[in-house]
Structure 1
Amino acid sequence: MDATLLTLDTSTQAGSVALTRGRKLLGEILLNVKANHTDRLLATVRQLLGDAGVELGEIDGFGVVLGPGSFTGLRVGLATVKGLALACAKPVLGVSSLRSLAVQAPFARHPVCTLLDARKGEVYAGLYGGAGGRMEPLMDESVLPPEKLLSRLEGETVFIGDGAVVYQTLIVRQLGSRAHFVPWPLNLPRASSAAALALEELEAGRSIPLEQLRPAYIRPSEAEIMWARRQEEASIEG
């Protein structure tokens, strides 16, 4: 019997929820507006389930984007999924925001570089490729200045994500005709793309124990930076 998954992506401002049964998309809601995920996420889940005529108890597993991305958004998404999974006693499947984006360019003839704007003059970046649109990683996911990333890329590359939009002028200036871009609607992360990866995780038996469910920030949060700074100052004063 095909598994029914509810998948959440709150890694960026464009939060989305997808409901899938096997390899069939039953429904998806995506909003790219300036609103707190906390205020709308559970309401969106209820709306999607209600419109699809699916009860929460029918869900076989919960997919969630672990990151990288918005620290606050990721915490909201993971907390919501953890609560739902506890209530339903069903597995949680975690996936990468960057690989989920790459899945949206399955027929690219060149490696796909996924970019999310990390602010502070940096991007979250991943590079993917492979036959059949599987989008296997060609480098480790990282956070770095876009200029540094671009200097590492060889050959023609397809760019996708809001970071590709923000830094398109820089990318073209640095790579010229070697740079290619997806149609603009594909730059938004979609929970349905994450659901495809979550299904792979479920079929492979790679669920995440709830006590190990954590965001994949890649870089430290402001709180962690401040803590490290205070520790360093204390050691100097001591």
Structure 2
Amino acid sequence: MVEDNNHLLILALDCATPLTSVAISEGEKIITSEVKKPKVGHSETLMPMIDAMLKTEGLNISRFNIIASTVGPGTFTGIRVGIATAQGLSIPHNIKTMGIRTTLAIMLSVGRSEQHYAVVIDARRGMAYVEWFKWVKGRELPQTEKDIRLVKYEDLTKAVNGYTAVALREQDTYKLLEDESIKPTSPREPIAVGVAICSNLYSRIGVDTQLKPLYIRKPD
């Protein structure tokens, strides 16, 4: 069933990348968002961020219609923290959950100033996750041109050729691309904002996604 998105309250989380981010949206409006670099780890950072945000906005978790999190690709520990937190908050209140690909959330946090994008996430061990997107006129979500693949560092320049590269400044892949005279673009908003946008759009068109880890490579 397609939900009434005008007042759909969404709590969006991202821990799949080096930064921890949280966003709250109502319909198409982003009410608030925050991003932090964890001093210890995502698990010690995420819940205090959520609690502070709810207190500031005068909201109770039971009011939310959807709790969504990135599910990968990204850091295995971070993915698990985001998913476990979303599950832990949703189950007592029977709140719907959604899992959003990290690459898609990043893409929606960038915008659509160009037509073709290649989203790059550092996979470590000399590898990167890459997904290729295309914006199609009249569509609110980018279209995947090529599915997520693991690409060796040395093949990264070739992999993003012809696309606007998107990379996170906090990761080695950003500097790798810069060293090859490629100027990557970075998300303009916290990645959790992209999670909120995608969750709202998915809900509007009746798409359900599972809150399950997306592992392109086997977890450690």
Report how many aligned residue pairs link the two structures. 210
1:46 maps to 51
Aligned residue number for residue 214 of structure 1: 212
In the superposition, relative to structure 1, how do residues 128 and 105 fare at CA in structure 2: closer, same or farther (>3 Å)?
Answer: same
User: Equivalent residue for 1:161?
Assistant: 167
Go from structure 1 to structure 2 and tell me whether the alpha carbon gap of 1:154 and 1:161 turns closer, same or farther (over 3 Å shift).
closer
Superposed CA deviations along residues 99-154 of structure 1, whole A, max 9, x for unmatched, are: 11112332332411111111111111111111356321110011221333433455
Q: How does 1:61-76 map to 2 (within 5 A)?
A: 61-76=66-81
Aligned residue in 2 for 1:136: 143
2:216 is paired with a residue of what secondary structure? coil
1:13-66, CA deviations, whole angstroms, 9 ceiling, x for partnerless residues? 201010110011111121024421111211111111111111111101111101
Which residue of 2 is the match for residue 151 of structure 1?
A: 158
1:1-238 aligned within 5 A: 1-132=6-137, 134-155=141-162, 157-162=163-168, 164-172=173-181, 179-182=182-185, 186=187, 189-208=190-209, 213-222=211-220
Higher mean displacement: 87-96 or 107-116? 107-116
TM-score of the pair, normalised by structure 2 = 0.86
On the 8 A contact 1:106/1:135 being kept in 2, the answer is: no
Q: How well do the aligned residues superpose, as a CA RMSD in angstroms?
A: 2.1
Q: For residue 62 of structure 1, give the secondary structure of its aligned residue in structure 2.
A: strand
Structure with higher Rg: it is 1
Moved over 6 A (4+): none
The amino acid across from 2:199 in the alignment is A
Structure 2 residue identity aligned to 1:85: S
Q: Is the 8 A contact 2:38 2:45 kept in 1?
A: no
Using CA pairs below 8 Å that are at least 6 residues apart, which structure has the higher relative contact order? 2
> How far 1:6 moved relative to its partner?
0.2
| Structure 2 contact 178–184 (Cα < 8 Å) conserved | no
**Which residue of structure 1 lines up, in the alignment, with residue 3 of structure 2?**
none
Tell me, yes or no, if the aligned pair for 1:106 and 1:134 is still in contact at 8 Å: no
1:191 Cα deviation (Å)?
A: 0.3
Indicate how the Cα distance of structure 1 residues 216 and 188 shifts in structure 2: closer, same or farther if over 3 A, else same: farther
TM-score normalised to the size of structure 1?
0.80
Percent identity over the alignment is: 22
Q: Distance in 1 between the 2:118 and 2:10 partners?
A: 27
Q: Which has the higher helix share?
A: 1
Residue 217 of structure 1: SS of its match in structure 2? coil
Amino acid at match of 1:165: Y
Consecutive unaligned residues of structure 2, counting only runs of 5 or more, are 1-5
